[in-house]
Amino acid sequence: MLEKTYTIHWDGRAPEQITIYPINFDSGDWLRLGLCYPPGTTFQVRYQLEMRVPSAIFHNEEIHPAQSLHEVESGDGKLFYFEESTGLLFLKARAKYDREGHNYCSHMGCERIIISATMTSNTVSDCTAAAYPTYSLTPTETVPMPSFADGVFDCSGCGAPEPIVSVDNMRFLEVTVLSAGWLEIFQGHKSYIESAMSINQIKLTLVLNLVLQIDGVRHGNNHRGYHVISVDALTGDVTRELTFDTHSSPASDVAMADFIRNDIASNSIVLVATSDEPSQYAVECLVALKEIGAQEPVKTGNRGNFAMVGFKGTVWPSWIQQVNLPSGQGPAQIYTKIPLMG
């Protein structure tokens, strides 16, 4: 935990050299350390910046001794203090530079502190008896935790936002969505259908040219544009389906957005596929697709291929996904298994 003090003791003689790396520290993050050494030890302490590839030290700065522990505590990490009475060498390991992304070292290189100790004794370097209770502190919370009473008297927002699915007898909706643009259809891509029903699995396939079959019942058509199908996330039953020719009519764009927002029930799996050319008037319907989990880029190129598995509800499950491919690089295809909520 950051902004705390830790003491370090040994079950033998302390090492003659120690390297401390403030890994995953951002600028200003610090720890105060007390390392145990025998009385009479002298130190050389250095702060360095190390480049890992190629390996090189391009900054080397001496850390100077302070006259008191208070100077170390109030300093910026460039002082150390050796307390002879307890045998503890105090210093502050403080990062000077920020990291980029998930790098564990700073953008300037890996910061490190090197302690070189010259000891005149071979005694065991365990300062526990001398350091405590002198430096014992009551534990404090960096981030306050809620009390038990808070949970007893105020339980607003308790529990899961959606029904919990039991692992026992879990049922899955197995979904394949394939979508072909005009060029893909012209190149001879054929529709195929896979469907199967079992005790714990429903298999559902939305195929090229917008054909859907569930347990032997075919849904869909060969019309141009977006085909949208909603499936009850509790039962796996198809509840609504419509095709919207957003190539030829701006009204279809508005109608598709209205269909997603107002006609599809909450807690619905939403399957979307395009055929031929869907992009010319697609504007508001793309906003509606984002409301069920679509991410940019949502708009297809001319005669592009778009497939999506979305969800209408209060959360966005991890299985939401989409594929958006330009003309000539399709068809777009998704295969996934979705745990049903019922």
Q: Per residue in 59-117, pLDDT tens?
A: 899 999 999 999 999 988 999 999 999 999 999 999 999 888 778 888 888 899 999 99
- Domain match, 103 and 195 both: no
Q: Tell me whether residue 329 is in a domain.
A: yes
- Domain match, 107 and 177 both: no
The whole domain housing 327 covers 172-339
d(CA 47, CA 93): 10
- Domain match, 97 and 221 both: no
User: Cα–chain-centroid distance for residue 213?
Assistant: 35
Q: Residue 15: its pLDDT value, please?
A: 94
- Domain match, 116 and 201 both: no
- Domain match, 176 and 310 both: yes
d(CA 30, CA 3): 6
Q: Tell me whether residue 149 is in a domain.
A: no
Q: What is the DSSP string of 211-250?
A: EEEETTEEEE---SEEEEEEEETTT--EEEEEEE-TTT-H
Q: Tell me whether residue 163 is in a domain.
A: no
pLDDT in tens, 109-138: 889 999 999 999 888 999 998 888 887 766
Q: Tell me whether residue 160 is in a domain.
A: no
Q: Tell me whether residue 142 is in a domain.
A: no
328 Cβ contact partners less than 8 Å away, ≥ 6 residues apart: 183, 184
Q: Tell me whether residue 220 is in a domain.
A: yes
Cis peptide before 297 (omega within 30 of 0): yes
**Shortest CA distance to 314 belongs to which of 249, 256, 246, 267?**
267
Q: Residue 125: its pLDDT value, please?
A: 93
- Domain match, 232 and 123 both: no
**Shortest CA distance to 238 belongs to which of 230, 247, 250?**
230
Q: Tell me whether residue 38 is in a domain.
A: yes
Interior angle at CA 179, CA 190 and CA 287, nearest 5: 165
Inter-residue contact 30 to 77 (CB < 8 Å): yes
The domain boundary residue, chosen from 131, 164, 198:
131
- Number of domains the chain is built from: 2
Q: Residue 167: its pLDDT value, please?
A: 53
d(CA 119, CA 56): 29
- Domain match, 119 and 176 both: no
The domain boundary residue, chosen from 131, 158, 190:
131
Tell the residue number behind the tokens 């607003």, with chain if given: 156
Q: Residue 191: its pLDDT value, please?
A: 33
Please name the residue ranges forming H helices in the chain.
Answer: 69-74, 128-131, 148-153, 182-186, 250-258, 284-291
User: Strands 201-207, 5-8: parallel, antiparallel or unpaired by DSSP?
Assistant: unpaired
Phi, psi for residue 163 in degrees, rounded to 5: -55, 140
- Domain match, 191 and 318 both: yes
Tell the residue number behind the tokens 């090189």, with chain if given: 56
Put residue 127 in one of left, alpha, beta given phi > 0 → left and psi -120 to 50 → alpha.
alpha
**Which residues of the chain are modeled with pLDDT < 70?**
52-54, 137-169, 188-222, 342
d(CA 240, CA 263): 8
Order of strands across the sheet with 17-20? 5-8, 30-36, 88-94, 79-83, 56-65, 42-51, 110-118, 17-20
The domain boundary residue, chosen from 78, 110, 131:
131
The two tokens of residue 206 are: 């939305």
Q: Residue 146: its pLDDT value, please?
A: 59
User: Strands 332-339, 172-181: parallel, antiparallel or unpaired by DSSP?
Assistant: antiparallel
Q: What is the DSSP letter of 109?
A: B
- Domain match, 324 and 241 both: yes
Q: Tell me whether residue 152 is in a domain.
A: no
Q: What is the CATH number of the domain that holds 44?
A: 2.60.40
Q: Residue 169: its pLDDT value, please?
A: 64
**Shortest CA distance to 310 belongs to which of 282, 325, 289, 286?**
289
**Shortest CA distance to 231 belongs to which of 329, 136, 339?**
339
Inter-residue contact 69 to 135 (CB < 8 Å): no
HSE value, Cβ hemisphere, 13 Å, CA-based, for 24: 3
The two tokens of residue 95 are: 């990062």
Helices and strands: H and E segment counts in the chain? 6, 19
